[in-house]
Amino acid sequence: MSGTAEVPSSGGEQGRAQPVLSARDIWKSYGRVAALRGVDIDVYRGEVLGLVGDNGAGKSTLIKCLTGAEYPDSGSIFLEGREVVFHGPLAARQAGIEVVHQTLGVAPQLDITSNLYLGRELRRKGVLGAWARMLDVPTMRRRAAEEVKGLGIATIQDIGQAVETLSGGQRQAVAVARAAAFGSKVLVMDEPTAALGVREAGQVHRLIASLRDRGMPIILISHNMPALWELADRVQILRLGRVVGVLAPDSSTMEEAVALMTGARVAPGS
Ligand SMILES: Nc1ncnc2c1ncn2[C@@H]1O[C@H](COP(=O)(O)OP(=O)(O)O)[C@@H](O)[C@H]1O
Ligand SMILES: [Mg+2]
């Protein structure tokens, strides 16, 4: 961590608090390929920020830089107004930034509770937990059930059910629930519904909306423009490693976003 820094707040004009997660002037090259060329991003409490762009626009690279999977060549990242430097994904996760990937990030043979608690199991109190490493299964079950119920994944009947017996949509819902549970501050999702059918994707989209309504800031990469237009509060458009626009689905059309994505239209002032 390199001390504190002022975040230039674009949210101020909109009368909002500081962004939960933001980045300024992020640059990242792979050899001669400049994947990111001075990207800014802000995500606020209680919003879904869509991130779109053609293949190769730099979406995944930006996400990797924000979540500790890549180290930017230059630029700054701020979490709750304080500058952060992540040396690896675990550090970002410990700081409260959770990622859901396109591929299902669950362990199929384990049940829902075990998946939610994978890598952060609760131990029994006292000697049994500290020395014998005994797990506090009843508490984990109870909290997992609360979490699943609170998120409205109503179709999951049995918290002890192996995840491999669930549908793809339910599995991805578990992956999202896992990411959202237990004190995470920001959720970042890179095409979380790409491997799902239409109905299953709808289920995951509803879950994302309910997390947003609970205040969770969410960055969502999706190729599904109509779904994103329904779900997102703002949509940021990347093209060739630069931000070419941020649109509000309330006041802009998908066609405008596509025109910016493809370079058919150039954003005013750029
Ligand atoms: N590990 C890598 N090595 C070399 N080039 C990469 C690597 N990752 C991404 N790139 C390049 O960086 C650019 C942005 O890629 P990416 O962030 O994956 O775009 P998107 O997710 O928007 O499709 C592309 O030109 C891609 O080929
Ligand atoms: Mg990508």
Winning range, highest mean pLDDT, from 110-119, 204-213, 217-226: 217-226
- Sheet containing 48-52: order of strands: 97-100, 186-190, 218-221, 48-52, 234-239, 242-247
pLDDT of residue 153: 61
Q: pLDDT band at residue 104, thresholds of 50, 70 and 90? A: low
Count CB-CB contacts under 10 A for residue 264.
10
Nearby residues of 108 by Cβ (< 8 Å), 6 or more positions away: 162, 163, 164, 171
Q: Whose CA is nearest to atom 2 of ligand 1?
A: 30
Please write the tens of the pLDDT for every residue from 26-35: 999 999 999 9
- Ligand 1 pocket mutation, candidates 61, 222, 240, criterion most atoms within 8 A of CB: 61
Q: Whose CA is nearest to atom 18 of ligand 1?
A: 60
Q: Whose CA is nearest to atom 27 of ligand 1?
A: 56
For the chain, the C-alpha Rg in angstroms (whole number) is 19
* Domain 12-103+218-262 class in CATH: alpha beta
- Give me the chain's average pLDDT, please: 84
Q: Which of 162, 122, 113 is nearest to 141 (CA)?
A: 113
Nearby residues of 18 by Cβ (< 8 Å), 6 or more positions away: 7, 9, 11, 80, 81
Whether the per-residue pLDDT at 210 is higher than 50: the answer is yes
Q: Is 65 in the pocket of ligand 1 (CB under 6 A)?
A: no
144 membership: H or E segment, kind and range:
helix 137-150
Winning range, highest mean pLDDT, from 65-74, 92-101, 151-160, 186-195: 65-74
Q: Whose CA is nearest to atom 1 of ligand 1?
A: 30
- Of 12-21, 44-53, 134-143, 176-185, the one with minimum mean pLDDT is 12-21
Q: Is 61 in the pocket of ligand 1 (CB under 6 A)?
A: yes
- Of 61-75, 87-101, 147-161, the one with minimum mean pLDDT is 147-161
Whether the per-residue pLDDT at 11 is higher than 70: the answer is no
pLDDT of residue 1: 40
Average pLDDT on 225-240 reads: 96
Q: Is 105 in the pocket of ligand 1 (CB under 6 A)?
A: no
- Ligand 1 pocket mutation, candidates 26, 28, 29, 30, criterion most atoms within 8 A of CB: 30
In angstroms, rounded to a whole number, what is the distance separating the alpha carbons of residues 206 and 79?
Answer: 26
Every domain of the chain and the residues it spans = 12-103+218-262
Q: Hunting for tokens 């995951």 — which residue is that?
A: 204
Q: pLDDT band at residue 7, thresholds of 50, 70 and 90? A: very low
Comparing 128 with 99, the larger pLDDT belongs to: 99
Average pLDDT on 200-209 reads: 86
Residue 58 CA, closest ligand 1 atom number: 17
Whether the per-residue pLDDT at 126 is higher than 70: the answer is yes
CA 161 to chain centre: 26
